[in-house]
Structure 1
């Protein structure tokens, strides 16, 4: 868009178009951009094909590896506000809110979104991959 606007302004500067025509063209460019899907929207769509991965390593030897499709997680979080069977509040010092995970999914964020190591050595990692 910036390149298009720069060209329009240059044409106006050179006297090829007047300021009214320049404003009209810039408005048309802005309208076209509103109609085209944004990069964020495209990331959200592709993000739905990914997996939510939860890894817990407890000092007591309790190890958990969970992999869930993002589409499933998004539907469950929308319906219940939580993922059944997964409580992030039970591990001391590791209060993870499902809202945070829902926001990451909704905003198309991927990669590691949670990486916690408690004082007693428990580890929780949550990633969207």
Structure 2
């Protein structure tokens, strides 16, 4: 059984994991307060693309609500038609 790590709110992180269909793996860790500021300033725009079928603004609002309710764990799992996988995790 994996050990659960609990962090103080100020230390919590948003982890973004992207596994592309070409084999690229991207792992990003950002402090929650920083992510909140980026969302409020419309600076977290790498989640939106012209060919996306999802509403990236709704996804960002989902993240903000997850922060406000102090949720942890996997918040979103997106698998694109081309095989790309995007996971948003709060811990």
Distance of aligned partners of 1:94 and 1:121 in 2 relative to their CA distance in 1, 3 Å threshold:
farther
Q: Is residue 81 from structure 1 mapped to residue 42 from structure 2 by the alignment?
A: yes
Distance of aligned partners of 1:67 and 1:54 in 2 relative to their CA distance in 1, 3 Å threshold:
same
4+ residue runs of structure 1 moved beyond 4 angstroms?
A: 91-95
Q: Is residue 64 from structure 1 mapped to residue 45 from structure 2 by the alignment?
A: no
Gaps of 5+ in 1: 1-45
Q: Which has the higher helix share?
A: 1
Q: How large is the RMSD of aligned CA atoms in angstroms?
A: 2.1
TM-score, normalized by length of structure 1? Answer: 0.53
TM-score, normalized by length of structure 2? Answer: 0.71
Q: Is residue 50 from structure 1 mapped to residue 12 from structure 2 by the alignment?
A: yes
Deviating more after overlay: 97-106 vs 87-96: 87-96
Work out the number of aligned pairs and report it: 81
**1:93 Cα deviation after fit:** 4.5
Q: What's 1:124 paired with?
A: 86
Q: Give the greater-gyration-radius structure (CA).
A: 1
C-alpha separation in 2, matches of 1:61 and 1:95: 25
**1:105 Cα deviation after fit:** 1.0
